[in-house]
Structure 1
Amino acid sequence: MSGRVRRRDARGMVTAELAVAILAVFSLFVLLCWGLVLIVVQLRLVDTAAAVARQEARHDAAAVSRARAEAPAGAVIHVVRQPTQVRVSVSVRVRSFARGLPAVPLHADAVVVPEPGSPR
């Protein structure tokens, strides 16, 4: 034993590092999923605002109700009709699916000119 150096046992060290790395990757994955959810909801708000504004400008009540039905759950749709434009605002608060993440308010607007032959 005179020429041998005894190595310290470090088998548990890799396990602890792996556990921390897995938690970090999982946290990043949850945040990325949350970001994707917010992007999808924002796109749905933009589409809803544009569709409702377009149908309101045409005075098509059936199409307006169909466009409103496509809005995300809990969305608030506000329509302002003026002689020269129709302004639609859609907003919603998106609650997180993970504990500790805050609800995020999202908002979209659309403005269109009423169609020439439509009643005012």
Structure 2
Amino acid sequence: MKPFFYKRRFIFIPLGIITCLAVISFAVMQLWNALLPDILHVTTITYWQALGIFILCKILFGFGKGGPKGGGAPWMRGRMAERFKNMSPEDREKFRAQWEDRMCGWKDRGSRFNRHWDDFKNAPVNDEKKAEE
């Protein structure tokens, strides 16, 4: 059974990708043409324009690995963890106070902004930096 699958996957995988692109482009075109001409007074688009818009959005906004857990980019969390690890308790408290002043009341608006500062103290440092040392 495995040789059959391995021989056919070179046909099915590209066909699956093309099918997904076709369906998503059709959905983008239909949504655009159903909503935006009435709301924003723009012209309708063709299928190929919808495909171009979809590809452009993927290039600009990423290819959707899912949202980061706990908010913030993973590379940024590693950096923050390293900085907090090297800070003294006084520096850490000073940074926390400055950051809360900058947030202007946003910390109470949702879990994304309501981070615990001690989480950075115990977070692991980037593995790439450990390998370099």
* TM, length-normalised to structure 2: 0.30
Could you say which structure has the higher helix fraction? 2
* TM, length-normalised to structure 1: 0.32
Could you say which structure has the higher strand fraction? 1
